[in-house]
Homo-oligomer: A and B are copies of this chain.
């Protein structure tokens, strides 16, 4: 399979319907063997970035006029073409990320489900459309006919994530939701899975032909330097950005977008510590089970999920001691493993080392010693609530298989921790129904810190559905008003428009009086 892939990969960019560029800049990398793969890729020049953005701008005037049904067909065609090439796509992703095949097959399925969810929403809109009817008799001035709809923002730049080579990358949630909204897309492929990006782009290319879409509706530019990203987000034709990645890079790009002559929305899904609050009753009854689930969840994808549970908040005592004992036992047997990229591994190592050297921190347990230098060990540490509250360095996300247990003196201190949290993608409250009812203040405090509040479940495994919210107050995301998962994600790339006194025959279909979603006033 690897040879087949090598024959298929050009290493080029896909710009305005053509494959272009010199594939001599960087190689794919196998994080498991810690060695380069002989798949080579181009690094986009400023000119190539501008070509992709300009093509997206030109295609926008055609693509925005496609009906919702035509866009839905296109999204479904992309899903179909990905499914048709799933073997090569998952093999490439497996080689480039080291993630297990089963996980990658699941992620491919999720990517296709996501494309189809937006198609469903385009075919059966869920949003009302407000129409205020004219009233020529109104005094002192007649009332005009006004009708509220939405328009797509324009070309969108998408930055794929290292940890989800399919569902949050080339044809992932950002691309799918932008295309659903009527926007054209330029993807900057993540260098950690450039071949996967190219194969997925091939699937999109086929769907473009099959659905007779404008060539520039989707472009892929490859790159391994920050200059490519900077050139893309600062190009005048780009009207919004979708990004999944680190706070550090996300903030740099976000600042660039805000400083443009025309500032544009930047949707960065940046990460989170996803705190787990364990109330006393449930902890006492299920300490061992909770600890086992915690370790399982924090080990998913070797801790490289943005919803990985990196903080546990609980009250000291006998039950917590049992929790810690089970955690220790579960962790101790775990092997060290490779991470997604050498950069992620070394950042994890450095953050973990700083944590272990922190005077307030006690080690709970670590997994087995690393056999290879690029392997990292699952780890859990503990710290008192008092120390946690005054040490912002303990509150930062550590991207990888690590959890910080915050030991509280009492339930009041758990509330204090909740109130001191930074913005989070998720947090979970574990408690039996009776004790949950006794902690309305804690529930409310947690809700105001998160995009998704969970009860008695782990945060990993974000459902693709209409009611999902994957986002949260800064620094979990750069724009808490938006979600990057779920069908509402397409709202990020729309803006309202009011049509006043427009002749009935010229009105967009969704605003005609016979549309069942119209609410007239």
Asked if A437 is at the interface (CB within 8 A of a chain B CB), the reply is: yes
Asked if A350 is at the interface (CB within 8 A of a chain B CB), the reply is: no
Knowing A258-B263, A259-B255, the reply to whether A146 touches B497 (Cβ < 8 A) is no
Nearest-neighbour CB distance to chain B for A506, whole angstroms, equals: 6
Q: Which of A30-38, A47-55, A452-460 contacts B (4 or more CB under 8 A)?
A: A452-460
Assess the B433–A503 pair: CB atoms within 8 A.
yes
In the complex, which residues of chain B have a beta carbon less than 8 angstroms from the beta carbon of A475?
A: 262
Within 8 A of B (CB), among A464-521: 465-469, 471, 473-475, 478-483, 486, 488, 494-503, 505-506, 519, 521
Within 8 A of B (CB), among A431-466: 433, 436-437, 440, 443-444, 447-448, 450-457, 461, 463, 465-466
In the complex, which residues of chain B have a beta carbon less than 8 angstroms from the beta carbon of A128?
A: 126-128
Knowing A259-B255, A506-B443, the reply to whether A463 touches B501 (Cβ < 8 A) is no
Asked if A84 is at the interface (CB within 8 A of a chain B CB), the reply is: no
Partner of A255, one of B258, B483, B494: B258
Knowing A128-B128, A444-B65, A497-B450, the reply to whether A455 touches B503 (Cβ < 8 A) is yes
Asked if A335 is at the interface (CB within 8 A of a chain B CB), the reply is: no
Within 8 A of B (CB), among A114-148: 126-128, 130-132, 141, 143-144, 146-148
Partner of A496, one of B130, B451, B461: B451
Asked if A111 is at the interface (CB within 8 A of a chain B CB), the reply is: no
Assess the A146–B478 pair: CB atoms within 8 A.
no
In the complex, which residues of chain B have a beta carbon less than 8 angstroms from the beta carbon of A444?
A: 65
Assess the B500–A457 pair: CB atoms within 8 A.
yes
A475 and B260 alpha carbons, distance in the complex (Å): 12
In the complex, which residues of chain B have a beta carbon less than 8 angstroms from the beta carbon of A447?
A: 151, 497, 499
In the complex, which residues of chain B have a beta carbon less than 8 angstroms from the beta carbon of A450?
A: 497
Assess the A263–B130 pair: CB atoms within 8 A.
no
Knowing A474-B263, A481-B496, the reply to whether A467 touches B148 (Cβ < 8 A) is yes
Assess the B65–A452 pair: CB atoms within 8 A.
no
In the complex, which residues of chain B have a beta carbon less than 8 angstroms from the beta carbon of A497?
A: 447, 450-453, 469
Which residue on chain B has the smallest CB distance to residue A505? Answer: B437
Asked if A383 is at the interface (CB within 8 A of a chain B CB), the reply is: no
In the complex, which residues of chain B have a beta carbon less than 8 angstroms from the beta carbon of A495?
A: 451, 471, 473, 480-481
In the complex, which residues of chain B have a beta carbon less than 8 angstroms from the beta carbon of A130?
A: 126, 466-467, 488
Nearest-neighbour CB distance to chain B for A515, whole angstroms, equals: 13
Asked if A254 is at the interface (CB within 8 A of a chain B CB), the reply is: yes
Assess the A463–B143 pair: CB atoms within 8 A.
yes
Partner of A448, one of B127, B151, B483: B151
Within 8 A of B (CB), among A61-104: 64-65
Pairs of residues from A and B, 5 with the lowest C-beta to C-beta distance, nearest first = A258-B258, A469-B498, A130-B467, A148-B467, A452-B498
Assess the A463–B132 pair: CB atoms within 8 A.
yes
Assess the B263–A454 pair: CB atoms within 8 A.
no
In the complex, which residues of chain B have a beta carbon less than 8 angstroms from the beta carbon of A461?
A: 141
Assess the B258–A468 pair: CB atoms within 8 A.
no
Within 8 A of B (CB), among A226-266: 254-255, 258-259, 262-263, 265
A192 and B521 alpha carbons, distance in the complex (Å): 36
Q: How many copies does the complex hold?
A: 2
Asked if A319 is at the interface (CB within 8 A of a chain B CB), the reply is: no
What are 13 A-B residue pairs whose CB atoms fall within 8 Å in the complex? A126-B519, A127-B128, A130-B488, A144-B457, A148-B468, A262-B475, A440-B506, A450-B497, A452-B498, A455-B501, A455-B503, A457-B501, A482-B496
Knowing A258-B258, A436-B506, A506-B443, the reply to whether A498 touches B468 (Cβ < 8 A) is yes
A280 and B481 alpha carbons, distance in the complex (Å): 44
Which residue on chain B has the smallest CB distance to residue A465? Answer: B132
Asked if A306 is at the interface (CB within 8 A of a chain B CB), the reply is: no
Nearest-neighbour CB distance to chain B for A64, whole angstroms, equals: 8
Asked if A290 is at the interface (CB within 8 A of a chain B CB), the reply is: no
Nearest-neighbour CB distance to chain B for A105, whole angstroms, equals: 11
Nearest-neighbour CB distance to chain B for A485, whole angstroms, equals: 10
Asked if A153 is at the interface (CB within 8 A of a chain B CB), the reply is: yes
In the complex, which residues of chain B have a beta carbon less than 8 angstroms from the beta carbon of A496?
A: 451, 469, 471, 481-483, 488
Knowing A128-B126, A443-B506, the reply to whether A455 touches B500 (Cβ < 8 A) is yes
Besides A146-B467, A455-B503, 6 other CB < 8 A contacts?
A: A127-B128, A144-B463, A148-B468, A151-B448, A452-B498, A453-B497
In the complex, which residues of chain B have a beta carbon less than 8 angstroms from the beta carbon of A453?
A: 497-500, 502
Nearest-neighbour CB distance to chain B for A197, whole angstroms, equals: 27
A478 and B433 alpha carbons, distance in the complex (Å): 45
Partner of A254, one of B263, B467, B483: B263
